[in-house]
Chains A and B, each alone.
Chain A
Amino acid sequence: MIGNGAVVLSEGAPSLEPLAAATGVFAYLWLLIALPLLGAAVLLVGGRRTNRWGPYLGVLTVSLAAVFAIVLVVSLLGLPADDRAVGQTLFEWVFVGGFTVPAALQLDQLSMVFVLLITIVGALIHVYSLGYMEDDPDRRKFFGFLNLFIAAMLLLVLADNYLLLYVGWEGVGLASYLLIGFWQFKPSAAAAAKKAFIMNRVGDVGLSLAIMLIFITFGTVTFDSVFAAAGEANESTLTWIGLLLLLAACGKSAQFPLQAWLLDAMEGPTPVSALIHAATMVTAGVYLIVRSNPIYDGTAFALTTVVIIGIITMFLGAIIGSAKDDIKKSLAGSTMSQIGYMVMAAGLGPIGYVFAIFHLLTHGVFKANLFLGAGSVIHGMHGEQEMRRYGALRSVMVITWITFMCGYLAIIGIPPFSGFFSKDDIIHAAFEQNIIIGICGVLAAGITGFYMTRMVIMTFFGKPRWPDDAHPHESKPVMTIPLIILGIGSVVTGAALLYWGNIESWLEPVTGIEEKPLAIPTIVLEGITLLIVLIGVSIAIARYRREVPVLAPKGNLLTVAARNSLYDDAINEALVVKPTYVLSDGSIFVDERIIDGTVEGSARLVGGLGARLRRLQSGFARSYALLMVGGAVMVLVILYLARLP
C-alpha cells in the first residue's frame, strides 16, 4: 500500500513533464510525512504517560525528517536537471464513478525547497521549544501539535493534486488554530484562535470553490493534468480560478483583506509564531500561487490582482509594524509586509515566481531567527512583550543580540546578508515589469529599514526601561544554539542559494523564467535601494536615539491608526459582523414574532374558540335536543331558501 514506488500518472491526460518513478531513496518519500505524523499520534493519543519523553520524541521525528530531506535533496541533485521530479502513489483515495483521486505525492524542485525549509527550520524551532516551553505543564501536547503541523505542511507541499493539497491546507489551519489557542485559559488567546480559524475558513471557501471549478473545467484535480490542459482553457474561467486561488492565498497568508487574524495570532507561544506565522504556514499562499503558475499564465487580470493585493499588504504590514509597541506584533506586521513582497513577486508572472520563492526561503530563515530572538528576549524578560519596557538588552543578552542583528541586517537587505539578494531580485524584477511596482517595492524596503531599526533600538540599545525586579538574562543553550544556526543562516542563505545552489535554474523547470532588459544598470538600482533603506534606518535612529517614553505618546493620526492595525477589526466589524448580527436579529424576529406568532396565534384562536364553544356542552340532554331542533330548523330554512326562485 505504502511505498510501492508506483509511477503517478493520470492516464489519458497529457503531462507537462512526466514524473520519474520513485525509486531508490525516493521510494521512502512517504516517510517525510509519516515521521512527524507518527510523533503527533504518539504524543496526542499516548496521553500523560508520554509526558516525560514525549517532547524529545517530537524533536527526534522532525530532526529525522530534516536529515531525510537533506538526503533527498542530495539525491535529487544527482539526477539530471530535467528529471528532478518524482512521484509516488500511496493508495487510491477517492473513487467516485469515473473520478479517481489517488493519495499521491510529488517531489519536484519547488516541493524540495519547501521540504527543506519546513523540516530544517521546523527542527530548529522544535529544539528551541524544548527550552522555551520548559516550564509549561502541557509541553507534550505542544510538541504533538507542532508535529501535526509539520506533517500537514509537508502534505500540503508534497501533494500532487489539489484535493490532497486541500487536506494539508486544512490540516495546517487546524494546527494553527490549536497552537494559537494553546494557552486557551487566556480569553484573548482563545478568541484569537477562533478569529484565525474563521478568517481562514473564508479563504478555504475560495480554495474549495477553485478546486470545484478546476474539476468542472478540466475533469481532474491532478497538477500535471490540470497544468497540461490550462493553456487550452477559457481565459475567463482561468481568471475565476485564479481569483479564487488568490482568495485562498489571502486567507492563509494574511493578505489584504483577510489580514486581521495574523496580529492576534501572536497570542500563541513564540515558537509557534516563528514556525507557523512567519516561516512556513503563512507562506502557503505564495506556494499555492507559484504552484498554480500555468493557470495564472493564462490570465493577466488575476495576475494583476495578485500584484495589487501584494502591494497593498506590503504597505499595510509595514505601517502596522512601524507603530506597534508589542515586539511580536511588530514582527507580525513585518511578516505581512514581507509576504506582500512575495505575493507581489508571484504576481509579476514568470519574471517573479523564482524570486518569490527565493525571498520566501530567505525570509523563512531570517524571520524565524527574528521571532526566536524575540522569543528569547520575552523569555528573558519573563513574558514582557512591550518594547517600551525593554532597552539596552544587548549587554545582558549577547548571543540573542548578535543573532537578532543578523536577522535585522538580513531583513532590511544589507549586502551580503540573505535578504539583500532576494529582496533586490524582487525589486529588480518589479522594475523589469513595471516601474510603479518597482518604486513601491523600493519604498516598502525603506519602511522596512525604519521599523526594523526602531525595533532593534528600542529593544537592544538606549537606556534600560525595565522595572527593577525584571532581571533579564540570556537564554539557555538549547535556545541559543538554534538561534546561532539561524543567525548564520540569515547571513549565508541568500548568497548560498543564489550562487552555490543556483536557485534560478533549479526552479526553472517548475516555474519557468523570463528576463527583460532594464534601462538602468543593476548596480545602480541596488545602490538606490540601499540608499532608500539607509534613509529609513537614519530616520529611525534619529527618532529613537533619544529617550523612548515608557508610555506611548499620543502620536499623530497615522500612528494611532497603525497602532490599531489600521482599524481592520473595526472595518470587519462594520462590514461583516454587524450585518450578520442584524441579519440574525431579523431572523429571530421573523421566527419569534411571525412564525411562532402564527403558530401560537392559531393555537390560541382555536383554544379560545373552544373555551367559548364548550359552554354549549352543558351536560343537559335537553340542551342538546334543543340544539338538534335548532339545526333541523336551520336545515329546513336553508332548503326553502334554496328552492326560492
Chain B
Amino acid sequence: MTSTDPSAAEAVVFWVCAFLSVVGGIGLILSRRAVHSALWVALTMISLAVLYIANAAPFLGMVQIIVYTGAVMMLFLFVLMVVGVDSSDSLVETLRGQRVAGILLAVGFGLLLAIGLGSALNGVPVVGLDGANGEYGGNVEGLARLLFSEYVLAFEIVAGLLVVAALGALVLAHRERWQPRRTQREISQERTRGGIHPAPLPPPGVYARHNAVDTPALLPDGSVADISVPGPLRARGDLRPVDTAAVAETAALTSGEATYGPAKRPVADDPGTSPGEPS
C-alpha cells in the first residue's frame, strides 16, 4: 500500500468507511435513545480506525479501536446504564429557533471550513509517509522516537493529566458519607421491622411457563407479583404478559380438576413470544 497517492483499493476502502462514518454521525444525531447514539458513534469510530490504517497510521488505528471504541465508548455505555438506558429523549425542541439556527450555523461553518481547506490544499503535493515510517523500521517505531524525544515533555504532562483526571473523577463521583455505615444487623432489623418483604424476593417464573427474568411470578390468587421482576425491567414495562389460560390450566391440574394429557383446548399462540413489547 503506497501512501503517496491513494490507490484504487484505498478509494474503495475510503468510500465504504466514509459512508459508514457519516451514517454513524447522522445516527448519533437522530437516535432517540442515548444507547443507540452510542452504538452509532462506535460505528463511526471503527470506520475512522480503518481510515487511519489506510492513511498509513496503523498505530493510531489500533489506539482508536482500543481506547475509543473499547474504553471510551464502553465508559459512555456504563454511565448510560447508571443514568438509565430506558430514558429516551424527547426530540421536541424547547429553545425557539435553536434547531434551525444550530443546523444552519453548523452547516455553514462546515462549508466554510471545507471550502477554505480545499482551496488552501489545492495543488499541494502529497509526500506520503513511506519515508517517515520506514526511517526507524515502522510506524510505531517512528512515533515512539518522536514521543520520547521531541514530545517527551508533552507526553509526561499528558501522563500527569491522566492521573489528575482519574483523581478528579474519583472526587466528583464520590459521595460524602454523612452517617455511620449501617451494619448488616441494622439493615436486617430495618427490613424485618419496616414491613418490607423480609424473605428473599420471589423468583421469577413461579407458576410460569418460562423462567426468564422478565417473567413475573404469580401470587396464589393468580395476580402478578411485581417485585419478582428486576426494577429496570419493571420501569420500562418490559414484563412478559401472563398467560391466563396457562394459569387456569395449572390451577385445574393442581386442584385435580384436570389431568396431564393432551390439551382439552387448542393451544393458543403464546403472545409472550414477542419479547420486548411493552405491555
Q: Are A636 and B95 in touch, CB under 8 angstroms?
A: no
Fill in one digit per residue for A602-645: 1 if any B CB lies within 8 Å of its CB, else 0.
Answer: 00000000000000001010110010011011001101100000
Question: How many contacting A-B pairs (Cβ < 8 A)?
Answer: 29
- Confirm or deny: B108 has a beta carbon within 8 angstroms of a beta carbon on chain A: yes
Contact B112 A622 (CB under 8 A): no
Question: How many whole Å from B201's CB to the nearest CB in chain A?
Answer: 41
Q: Does B147 contact A (CB under 8 A)?
A: no
- Secondary structure call for the A interface: helix
Q: In the complex, which range does the number of interface residues on chain B fall in?
A: 10 to 19
A626 pairs with B112, CB closer than 8 A:
no
Q: Which of B98, B108, B116 sits near A626, CB closer than 8 Å?
A: B98
Instruction: Determine whether the beta carbon of B109 is less than 8 Å from that of A636.
Output: yes
- Judge whether A626 and B109 touch: CB under 8 Å: no
CB neighbours of B105 from chain A (8 A): 626, 629-630, 633
Contacts A629-B102, A629-B105, A633-B105 given: A623-B95 contact, CB under 8 Å?
yes
CA distance A393 to B106 in the complex (A): 112
Q: Which residue on chain B has the smallest CB distance to residue A633?
A: B109
A626 to chain B, nearest CB (A): 6
Q: How far is the CA of A636 from the CA of B258 in the complex (A)?
A: 82
Pairwise interchain contact B112-A636, C-beta atoms closer than 8 A: yes
B98 in contact with A622 (CB, 8 Å)? yes
Counting CB contacts under 8 A, is B113 at the interface? yes
**In the complex, which residues 86-129 of chain B have their Cβ closer than 8 Å to any Cβ of chain A?**
95, 98, 101-102, 105-106, 108-109, 112-113, 116
Q: Give CA–CA (A630, B101) in the complex, Å.
A: 9
Complex contact A623–B113 (CB within 8 A): no
What is the bound-complex CA distance between A288 and B106, given in angstroms? 93
B-chain residues with CB within 8 Å of residue A629 when the two chains form the complex: 102, 105-106, 109
Contact of A637 among B95, B98, B106, B112 (CB under 8 A): B112
Near B by CB (< 8 A), chain A positions 134-149 give none
In Å, the complex CA distance between A618 and B116 comes to: 33
Question: Which B residues lie within 8 Å of A622 (CB)?
Answer: 95, 98, 102
- The digit string for B237-271, where 1 denotes a CB below 8 A from any CB of A, is 00000000000000000000000000000000000
Q: Which of A623, A630, A633, A639 has the most CB of B within 10 A?
A: A633
- Complex interface: chain B residues within 8 A of A626 (CB): 98, 101-102, 105
A623 to B96, CA, bound (A): 10
**Residue ID in chain B nearest A629 by CB atoms:** B105
Residues of A within 8 A of B95 (CB): 618, 620, 622-623
- Residues of B62-108 at the interface with A, using a CB-CB cut-off of 8 Å, are 95, 98, 101-102, 105-106, 108
**Distance, CA A183 to CA B257, complexed state (A):** 131
Collect the chain B residues with CB atoms within 8 Å of residue A640's CB: 112, 116
Return A634 CB to nearest CB of chain B, in Å.
Answer: 10
Contact, CB under 8 Å: A633 / B112? yes
Cα distance, A17 to B164, chains bound together (Å): 100
Residue of B nearest to A618 (CB): B95
A623 to B95, CA, bound (A): 8
Q: A549 → chain B, closest Cβ, in Å?
A: 94
Residues from chain B with Cβ under 8 Å of A623 in the complex = 95, 98
Q: Which residue of A lies closest to B97 (CB)?
A: A626
Report chain A residues within 8 Å CB of B108.
633
Using CB atoms, name the residue of chain A closest to B105: A629
A629 to B102, CA, bound (A): 8
Return 25 A-B CB contacts under 8 Å, by A number: A618-B95, A620-B95, A622-B95, A622-B98, A622-B102, A623-B95, A626-B98, A626-B101, A626-B102, A626-B105, A629-B102, A629-B105, A629-B109, A630-B105, A633-B108, A633-B109, A633-B112, A636-B109, A636-B112, A636-B113, A636-B116, A637-B112, A639-B116, A640-B112, A640-B116
Report the 5 A-B pairs with minimum CB-CB distance, sorted nearest first: A636-B112, A629-B105, A633-B109, A633-B108, A626-B102
